Amino acid sequence: MNLLKVHQWHCQPQFFQISRITPLHSIFPGLKFPLKRLTPRFSFNLLLLSPFRPSFKISSLSSAETSFFDNKQQDDNAKPVAEFEDLAQNGVVYQNTLRLVECSMFAAVTGLVYFLSNSLSIENYFGCFFSLPIVISSMRWGVAAGRKTVVATAMLLFVLSGPLKALTYLLTHGIVGFTMGTLWRLGADWGLSIFLCTIARSIGAMGYVITTSFLIRENILALITINIHASLTSIFAAIGINTIPSMNVIYAIFTTVLLLNSGFFAFLLHILYAVFLTRLGMKHSLRLPRWLEKAL
C-alpha cells in the first residue's frame, strides 16, 4: 500500500451527500422519530433545530454610505412649494407664456390687417388702429413687450409683403405706437406724450418720403417745396403783393404744416385709444387729463 496516497487521502476534506431515501437512524443514531426517510422540508427544519448550524463567514462587506443626493433631496423637500415655478395664474411660467402668446397674437392680427388693407386699398380707413396693439402690449406687459410686438409685426410683413411694406409700417405706425405705449406705461403727462408722438410721427413721415424718393428715383421733397413756392407766389400775386418767398420760408412753412398734421393726428390717437382702453377695463392704468376723465 502506498503511504503517500494514504496520507493525501487523510489530508483532503471529505464531502458526503445525504440522499432523500437515506434512513434517519443511519445519520443520527440517537434520533428516535418514526420517520424513516428524510424529506426536503424536514431536513431544512432539522438543520435549524440541530446544534451544528452552518455558519457562513463573509470576508468583506461594503460599508453603507449615504447617497450624494440625500442632502440635496432633503433640502429640496424642505423648501416651500411657492418657491418653485408652476403653472398657476400668478406663477412666473404662466405669466411669461401669457405674455408671449398675447404679443404673438397682436403681431399676427396687426400684420394680417395691414397686409389686407394694403391689398384692398383701404389703408386710410384702418390707419388709426395699426398702432393700438403695440400700445396695449406696452400697457399690459411693459416696454419690452411693446418692442417685441413691433419687431414681430415688421418681420411678419417682411415675409408676407417684402421689405418695403415692413419699413412703411415701422415709419408710419410702429414708431408712433411704440412711443405712445412707452410714455403711457411710464405714466407721462399727456402734453409730453402728444409732443413726442408728434415728433415721432413727423420723423416717420419724412423717412417715408425719403424712402419713396429713393425707390422711384425722384426727389419728392423737392417737388413738394416747389409746389408750395408756386402756390404762395400765386397767392401773393392775387393779393397784390409783389414779393417772391425765399426757400427758407418755404422750408419753414413745410415743417410747420408737417408738425401740425402730425400733432392733430397724435392728439386724435390719444383720445381714441384712451376711450378704447377705458372700455376694455384698463382705466386704472391710464393717466388721463381731468376733462377727459370727467367725460368718460
pLDDT tens profile 2-49:
444 444 444 554 444 444 455 545 545 555 444 444 444 444 444 444
Query: Is residue 62, in this structure, part of any structural domain at all?
Result: no
Query: Is residue 169, in this structure, part of any structural domain at all?
Result: yes
The Cα 95–Cα 79 span in angstroms is 22
Query: Is residue 135, in this structure, part of any structural domain at all?
Result: yes
Mean of the per-residue pLDDT values for the chain?
A: 77
Query: Is residue 67, in this structure, part of any structural domain at all?
Result: no
Query: Is residue 45, in this structure, part of any structural domain at all?
Result: no
Domain count along the chain? 1
What are the cell numbers at 56?
Answer: 457562513
Query: Is residue 26, in this structure, part of any structural domain at all?
Result: no
> In the prediction, which pLDDT does 36 show?
45
Give the list of residues 6+ apart from residue 167 with CB closer than 8 angstroms, or none.
Answer: 211
Query: Is residue 179, in this structure, part of any structural domain at all?
Result: yes
Give the list of residues 6+ apart from residue 205 with CB closer than 8 angstroms, or none.
Answer: 171, 172, 258, 261, 262
CATH of the domain at 269: 1.10.1760
* pTM exceeds 0.85: no
Residues spanned by the domain of 99: 89-294
> In the prediction, which pLDDT does 88 show?
67
The Cα 228–Cα 241 span in angstroms is 17
